[in-house]
Amino acid sequence: MPESDYDHFPSTEWTWLATRVMEAPRDSGIAAELRARVMARYAEPLRIYAKGSSLGWLDDAEALVNGFFASRLVRDGYLVKWFESAMPLRRFLANGMLLYLREERRARLRRDRRDGASLDAMYEQGGDALAAPEESRAFRELERAWARSVLGEACDRARNELESAGRGHAWRVFERHFLDGVTYEQAAREMGLREESARPAARLAQAKVRDWMKWLLALEGVSESEMDEAVADVQRLVGP
């Protein structure tokens, strides 16, 4: 759907997503659109997850992610199962990725038994680490990568919106104060603004970032009642 068809009300985006997910099994165009959206957002977080997983030794991380997408996202109704689960999309995909990796491990074991390969050599690569703490660490890294992606896109969209409206100075003050850590006084001086106008300008940009975060999260299935908690999760995961 063209961006001009969206607005800033997360409940509208949530309803749009719910409708599209339920229509996807009967409409190949919608299914392809949703797959593309999921892959664009999650390819890198899932690559990080695969690389850090106890089963990451099975193949190159990018190949594992491509295999997971080809195995799961092409299934009719896969995203319907996610939506009906009421589970955060990142958790649903991470669970699916781990199941896929375990399937790949079993397939590898069967092939190696058939071909007479040494299972001891496999275990030396980490094949016996199913219960290792690497899985929880890998998921935390996935979450951090996902949060950076959401926040980064929200910032890009907020900046573009402000600049298009002739309010680019609001973004620059926000960036200098919140991202670079300079005082409002210094940011105002650099831009030739009055200090008393710098603070509300930065708050405007901050509000725009939050609006876009909500918009993006709604497109991942976050409901209005869960939105504040989801925004706080992004901020917590991106923080130090």
pLDDT one-digit tens code per residue, 115-128 = 554 444 443 344 43
Give the pLDDT score at 150. 95
pLDDT band at 112 (very low <50, low <70, confident <90, very high): low
Give the pLDDT score at 71. 92
pLDDT band at 65 (very low <50, low <70, confident <90, very high): very high
Q: What is the mean pLDDT of residues 231-235?
A: 94
Question: Distance (Å, rounded) from C-alpha 220 to C-alpha 218?
Answer: 5
Question: Distance (Å, rounded) from C-alpha 150 to C-alpha 233?
Answer: 11
Q: Which residues, at least 6 apart from 151, have a Cβ–Cβ distance to it below 8 Å?
A: 209, 213, 234, 235, 238
Q: Are 231 and 213 contacting, i.e. CB atoms less than 8 angstroms apart?
A: yes
With a pLDDT cut of 90, the percent of the chain lying above it is: 47
Residue 19 has pLDDT above 70, yes or no: yes
Residue 70 has pLDDT above 70, yes or no: yes
Q: Residue 28 has which token pair?
A: 């190949």
Rounded CA Rg of the chain: 22
Residue 54 or 129, more confident: 54
Q: Are 13 and 219 contacting, i.e. CB atoms less than 8 angstroms apart?
A: yes
Give the pLDDT score at 147. 95
Give the pLDDT score at 236. 94
Residue 64 has pLDDT above 50, yes or no: yes
Residue 86 phi/psi, 5-degree rounding, is 60, 25
3-18: pLDDT as tens digits: 433 344 556 777 888 8
Distances in Å between the Cα of 220 and the Cα atoms of 16, 80, 83, 158 are 11, 12, 9, 19
Question: Distance (Å, rounded) from C-alpha 212 to C-alpha 114?
Answer: 53
Instruction: Write down the H helix ranges in the chain.
Output: 10-23, 28-52, 61-72, 78-85, 89-115, 119-124, 134-164, 168-174, 184-191, 195-218, 227-238
With a pLDDT cut of 70, the percent of the chain lying above it is: 85
Q: What is the mean pLDDT of residues 185-200?
A: 86
Give the pLDDT score at 128. 39
Question: Distance (Å, rounded) from C-alpha 54 to C-alpha 135?
Answer: 6
Degrees, nearest 5: CA angle 221-237-54: 90
Give the pLDDT score at 161. 95
pTM (2 d.p.): 0.79
Question: Distance (Å, rounded) from C-alpha 160 to C-alpha 220?
Answer: 22
Distances in Å between the Cα of 66 and the Cα atoms of 42, 88, 97 are 11, 21, 11
Average pLDDT, the chain: 84
148-190: pLDDT as tens digits: 999 999 999 999 999 999 999 999 999 888 888 888 888 888 8
Give the pLDDT score at 130. 36
Give the pLDDT score at 9. 52
Residue 129 has pLDDT above 80, yes or no: no
